[in-house]
Amino acid sequence: MKFMKLGSKPDTFYTAEAVRSVSSEVSSDLIIQVQGHRYLLHKFPLLSKCLRLQKLCAESPESSPRQIIQLPDFPGGIESFELCAKFCYGITITLSAYNIIATRCAAEYLQMTEEAEKGNLIYKLEVFLNSCILQGWKDAIVTLQSTKAFPSWSEDLGITSRCIEAIAARVLTHPTKINLSRTYSRRAGGGVGGGRDDIVSCNGANGDGGGSECARQKNISKGWWAEDVAELGIDLYWRTMIAVKSGGRVPSHLIGEALQIYASKWLPTKQVIPDIDSDKTGEKTSKYRLLLESIVSLLPSEKGAVSCSFLLKLLKAANLLKASPSSKMELARRVGIQMDEANVKDLLIPSLVSETRYDVDIFMAILEQFLSQGQSPPTSPPRTKGRYERRRRSRSAENIDIDFQERRRSSSASHSSKLKVAKVVDKYLQEIARDTNLPLSKMVAIAEAIPSFARIEHDDLYKAIDIYLKAHPELTKSERKRLCRVLDCKKLSVEACMHAAQNELLPLRVVVQVLFFEQARAAMAGGKVTDLPPDIKALLAAQDDHSSRPPAALSTTTTIPGTEDQWSVSGLKSPKSKLSTLKMKLAEDDLEENGIAKGLKFKNLCSIPTRPKRMFSKLLSINNNRSVAEKN
């Protein structure tokens, strides 16, 4: 820490009967009152250096041996006034980053300029500030923090902007060429009083050897400055970060790390949330809201500069603090750009406005942003014409191929990210499906937003649908059909098919589809493809990749007692007649829904071989008990 000493006389100020005086052979002729405190001083040393006191003495009449001057709005209080007074008497004073701002404002108030006397206090303070204070990292940080007590004075004198520029310049300099951070100094020095925190003079040495200094500097990360700058208030921090970003030399990910450090230090945590809820005046909430919106405005524009998890934490805080819609949508847009990094836990954003438990609308905005990103490039590069052109390819053609390969890799990454997001969305649906206030329209909209190619298997989606049906038993028959329309039975595992076949909450048509494709898959595996009609063979061939996939386990809360007994074919006297009855039920179902006697799925069912089928026999035995309920 740099310091400067002015004056050479010993301190002769003393206090007697609540009055501060100066020991002198000459009696005092001036009384100055500062914020309720009285000073018995002398005109000559003070008026020779303070133009303001000259004017005040000239304007006020001398009614007694001691002239009285009132200074009610003195900046810095009695401490800074006494420093200025001691400078006028030539008494030794010590100035550092901790008191230079208060002293500079006081000297400006008293007009201690060069016009009053050469080498006056303002001149000496400016030299010390520019040549020493602003050249050091720790001093500049402390000085900038102290400007908060004198905001208008510091702005008018240009001190705040000069401190910010000095700090930004230090950040933009190579780490090995600047001083250590305060935080790192305390850790390296073994405590507050050790290491680089030792006080040194402005013209003195740095206090420790250059070798150890360089050795410590090599261990500092490039983002060392973030912890120290995080000590600033949000207004000064925002201006400092703007200056750092405008320099264009700090990588965006380091800017993101600095913002994350600041947010973790100042944004409300779970322990602070009750205080916000009980904040009747709204002062705390407004303070945190301003802080959050300022952080959002500082986020780097580059993708990946901050983690998706951090963005979602900001989004949760924005909901809690009721931030502006623009800030929330900006966060949602940024999350959507890198949604493939998100996990379900972070995406569960509590809702404080709607009746639903989680903010589903903002999740839909995030998903929409993710899905609206760029399209995949062509599957093959443009071909050159002619044998000669294929032999001797120009450099531009090679560049085209290189560019194509880059776009292919980008397309592959985009496809992979969509597969990841599809899994996250299905897990998210499972979480929100438990909410009894979740509208069917939003459940369906989220489920249908994922492209069909992104869902390789539908087990997680089926589980989400099953959870929603259990949580919403009041759904009508048409609403259940609408919910299940997004489900692709061909992409269900064997375990999921077994569960769906016994799920009484599913529409009858879905159960039939499940059993149909499971029966067809079993026929394919058993080498009995010849028993299937040609249109069914083509359908199965299109889904061959999915059917060859190993089944995945599905865990639900539904348990069906006596499963093996229920799947037994004993007691079914005429499977063929029962199969005909099932076809009639499906025909009636088609007629109720569309007014058409034979739908597509009904046609497919009729094309199944009429020989006894174990699974269809099971279906008939189950649905005898639910046919009446289905019609209702």
Distances (CA, A) of 613 to 71, 181, 213: 103, 78, 84
The residue that leads in pLDDT, 410 or 554, is 410
Could you name the CATH architecture of 3-135?
A: 2-Layer Sandwich (3.30)
The average pLDDT across 614-628 equals 50
Residue 173 has pLDDT above 60, yes or no: yes
Say if CB 167 and CB 133 are below 8 A apart. no
The residue that leads in pLDDT, 573 or 316, is 316
Percent of the chain beyond pLDDT 90? 57
Closest C-alpha among 60, 64, 112, 61 to residue 85: 112
Residue 305 has pLDDT above 90, yes or no: yes
The residue that leads in pLDDT, 355 or 278, is 355
DSSP label at residue 625: T
In the three-class reduction of DSSP (H, G, I as helix; E, B as strand; rest coil), residue 416 is classed as helix
Distances (CA, A) of 540 to 54, 543, 608: 102, 5, 13
DSSP label at residue 91: B
The average pLDDT across 242-270 equals 91
Instruction: Return the ∠ at Cα 471 (arms to 468 and 476), rounded to 5°.
Output: 75
Closest C-alpha among 430, 424, 497, 496 to residue 455: 424
Say if CB 608 and CB 516 are below 8 A apart. yes
Alpha helices (H) in 561-599, listed in sequence order: 563-566, 575-594
φ/ψ (deg, to 5) at 517: -70, -30
- How many residues does the structure list for the chain? 632
Question: What pTM, to 2 d.p., does this model score?
Answer: 0.74
pLDDT score recorded for residue 517: 85
Alpha helices (H) in 173-307, listed in sequence order: 182-189, 210-217, 225-229, 234-247, 252-266, 273-277, 283-298
Among all chains, which residue has been given the structure tokens 């500062």?
A: 34
How far is residue 400's CA from residue 381's CA, in Å, rounded to a whole number? 8
The residue that leads in pLDDT, 280 or 170, is 170
How far is residue 493's CA from residue 551's CA, in Å, rounded to a whole number? 5
Contacts of 442 (CB under 8 A, 6+ apart): 360, 361, 364
pLDDT score recorded for residue 60: 81
pLDDT score recorded for residue 354: 77
Task: Look up residue 222 and give its two tokens.
Answer: 């490039």
How far is residue 95's CA from residue 104's CA, in Å, rounded to a whole number? 10
Residue 399 has pLDDT above 60, yes or no: no
Residue 410 has pLDDT above 80, yes or no: no
- Reported as a pLDDT band with limits 50, 70 and 90, residue 268 is confident
How far is residue 236's CA from residue 130's CA, in Å, rounded to a whole number? 19
Q: Which of 35-49, 188-202, 485-499, 610-624 has the lowest mean pLDDT?
A: 188-202
Residue 45 has pLDDT above 80, yes or no: yes
Residue 549 has pLDDT above 80, yes or no: no
Contacts of 154-157 with C-beta under 8 Å, sequence gap 24+, read 154/101, 154/105, 157/104, 157/105, 157/108
Say if CB 50 and CB 116 are below 8 A apart. yes
How far is residue 404's CA from residue 399's CA, in Å, rounded to a whole number? 8
Q: What are 70's strand-pairing partners?
A: 33
- Reported as a pLDDT band with limits 50, 70 and 90, residue 531 is very low
pLDDT score recorded for residue 64: 74
Percent of the chain beyond pLDDT 70? 66
Domain residue spans in the chain?
A: 3-135, 413-526
pLDDT score recorded for residue 534: 53
The residue that leads in pLDDT, 568 or 615, is 615
On the CB side of 275, CA atoms within 13 Å amount to: 12
- Reported as a pLDDT band with limits 50, 70 and 90, residue 378 is very low
- Reported as a pLDDT band with limits 50, 70 and 90, residue 11 is very high
Say if CB 148 and CB 185 are below 8 A apart. no
- Reported as a pLDDT band with limits 50, 70 and 90, residue 185 is very low
H or E stretch covering 20: strand 19-22
- Of these ranges, 135-144, 165-174, 558-567, the one predicted with the greatest mean pLDDT is 135-144
Query: Count of CB atoms within 10 A of residue 192's CB?
Result: 10
The residue that leads in pLDDT, 273 or 391, is 273
Residue 571 has pLDDT above 90, yes or no: no
The average pLDDT across 75-86 equals 96
Q: Mind listing the pLDDT tens digit for each residue in 588-619? A: 455 555 544 344 444 444 444 433 344 445 44
Task: Look up residue 230 and give its two tokens.
Answer: 């995080």
Distances (CA, A) of 321 to 259, 261, 280, 286, 338: 18, 19, 14, 8, 24
Task: Look up residue 530 and give its two tokens.
Answer: 């010849």
The residue that leads in pLDDT, 632 or 483, is 483
